């Protein structure tokens, strides 16, 4: 194995279903349902910045697609296909096979065909760029700007585990083997809430996926919608990994920061009218996804978080920003 073309042919050219034109021509082709719009999004992942160099290539393939599918989920879009840009320092067949296995397993699960890409040698480290395409019924996309005063604020799944795992691996908090084992999956194998996003289309107003931390991502909804919010810290959903172990090993401020500002979550935060509560509970139940009401949209701007005793937290942790010094 030596060339770029052999690499693509062997690892990234699995057949796609009828109606799509996949790799092998100058462009891929796909259609959308009449009356629906194309939803598209792209995400870059750089070695050393978005993933550790020694990460399992299977989980990297999974995550590179998962973070993009999560963007489709946040719009309520149905996945159609994706493009994969690969910058690799060298051709490593074992790495490519494992990466492709992780990528295709998730792509197949969501009917998101790999229909093309680009491959090049990089000068330093691995660079990944995935672009996804989905479709959403016109005017039913879940926009950030659609939150309304009085809406409930909901979050799917649980918060915080990926942040704790990431900080342990980065040496920012002490390594605790049991806690790492319990939280690592959340960091390396995030589950994009694609089905949930599609079901939310006719029940929710605004939605966003939590990639940079709950406060920051909810903040985008608030800004775009011109509203404010109240959150109740005791209601934030904590997974069993943190619930069982953290009380003994994690300082409360580390846990608070993980829940409120921890990134890499890939759950959905969305707003919906209180009249939707029972429908949303039924959706969560059917999908087997925990849906938790964590606060309320207010017409007055600003984001206030109340702690266990009902006091507004004065110093809130901040989310992730690539260019913050």
Which among ligand ADP, Mg ion, none contacts residue 26 (Cβ within 5 to 8 A by kind)? ligand ADP
Residue 84 to residues 4, 19, 42, 115, 127, Cα–Cα distance (Å): 14, 20, 10, 8, 11
Which among Mg ion, ligand ADP, none contacts residue 73 (Cβ within 5 to 8 A by kind)? none
Using rule CB under 6 A, residue 26 touches ligand ADP: yes
Which has the closest alpha carbon to 176: 237, 265, 241? 241
Burial of 251 (0-12, 13-18, 19+ CB in 10 A): exposed
Using rule CB under 6 A, residue 93 touches ligand ADP: no
Cβ neighbours, 10 Å, residue 167: 20
- Binder among 1, 10, 24, 301 for ligand ADP (CB under 6 A): 24
Q: Is 87 strand, coil or helix?
A: strand
Using rule CB under 6 A, residue 12 touches ligand ADP: yes
Of 69 and 155, nearer to ligand ADP (C-beta) is 69
Using rule CB under 6 A, residue 116 touches ligand ADP: yes
Binders of ligand ADP among 160-179, rule CB under 6 A?
none
Using rule CB under 6 A, residue 16 touches ligand ADP: no
Binding mask 271-300 for ligand ADP (x = CB under 6 A): ------------------------------
Give me the torsion for CA of 200, 206, 207, 213, rounded to 10°. Answer: -150
Which has the closest alpha carbon to 231: 245, 210, 249, 247? 210
Cβ neighbours, 10 Å, residue 220: 16
Residues forming contacts to Mg ion in the complex (CB under 5 A) are: 118
Place of tokens 């005017």: 139
Using rule CB under 6 A, residue 23 touches ligand ADP: yes
Using rule CB under 6 A, residue 8 touches ligand ADP: yes
Of 8 and 168, nearer to ligand ADP (C-beta) is 8
- Binder among 114, 130, 200, 221 for ligand ADP (CB under 6 A): 114
- Least CB distance to ligand ADP at residue 201 (A): 30
Chain residue at closest Cβ approach to Mg ion: 118
Cβ neighbours, 10 Å, residue 225: 21
Of 127 and 199, nearer to ligand ADP (C-beta) is 127
Using rule CB under 6 A, residue 84 touches ligand ADP: yes
Distance CA 82, CA 129 (A): 10
Which has the closest alpha carbon to 134: 18, 40, 23, 267? 40
Distance CA 291, CA 280 (A): 8
Of 127 and 246, nearer to ligand ADP (C-beta) is 127
Using rule CB under 6 A, residue 100 touches ligand ADP: no
Which has the closest alpha carbon to 126: 95, 168, 94? 95
- Least CB distance to Mg ion at residue 118 (A): 4
For 72, phi then psi, to 5°, come to: -65, -40
Distance CA 201, CA 203 (A): 6
Using rule CB under 6 A, residue 6 touches ligand ADP: no
- Least CB distance to ligand ADP at residue 24 (A): 5
Using rule CB under 6 A, residue 86 touches ligand ADP: yes
Of 8 and 215, nearer to ligand ADP (C-beta) is 8
- Which residue ranges make up the site for ligand ADP (CB under 6 A)? 8, 12, 23-26, 84, 86, 114, 116-119
């Amino acid at each position: 194995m030596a060339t770029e073309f052999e690499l693509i042919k062997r690892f990234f050219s699995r057949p796609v279903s009828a109606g799509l034109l996949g790799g092998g021509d100058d462009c891929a082709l796909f259609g959308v349902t009449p009356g629906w719009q194309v939803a598209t999004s792209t995400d870059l992942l750089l070695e050393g910045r978005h993933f550790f160099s020694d990460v399992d290539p299977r989980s990297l393939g999974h995550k590179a697609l998962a973070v993009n599918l999560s963007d489709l989920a946040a719009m309520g879009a149905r996945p159609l296909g994706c493009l994969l840009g690969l910058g690799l320092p060298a051709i490593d067949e074992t790495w490519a096979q494992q990466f492709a296995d992780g990528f295709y397993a998730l792509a197949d699960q969501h009917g998101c065909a790999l229909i093309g890409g680009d491959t090049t040698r990089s000068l330093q480290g691995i660079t990944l760029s995935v672009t996804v395409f989905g479709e959403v019924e016109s005017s039913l996309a879940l926009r950030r700007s659609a939150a309304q005063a009085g809406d409930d604020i909901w979050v799917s799944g649980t918060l915080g585990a990926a942040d704790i795992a990431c900080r342990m691996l980065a040496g920012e908090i002490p390594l605790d083997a049991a806690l790492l084992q319990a939280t690592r999956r959340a960091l390396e194998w995030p589950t994009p809430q694609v089905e949930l996003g599609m079901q939310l289309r006719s029940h929710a107003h605004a939605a966003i996926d939590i990639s940079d931390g709950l406060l920051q991502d909810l903040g985008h909804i608030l800004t775009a919608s011109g509203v404010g919010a109240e959150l109740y810290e005791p209601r934030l959903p904590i997974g069993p990994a943190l619930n069982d172990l953290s009380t003994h090993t994690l300082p409360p401020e580390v846990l608070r920061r993980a829940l409120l500002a921890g990134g890499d979550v890939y759950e959905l935060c969305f707003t919906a009218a209180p009249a939707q509560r029972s429908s949303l509970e039924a959706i969560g139940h059917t999908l087997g996804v925990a849906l938790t009401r964590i606060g309320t949209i207010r017409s007055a701007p600003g984001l206030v978080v109340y702690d266990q005793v009902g006091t507004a937290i004065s110093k809130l942790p901040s989310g992730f920003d690539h260019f913050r010094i």
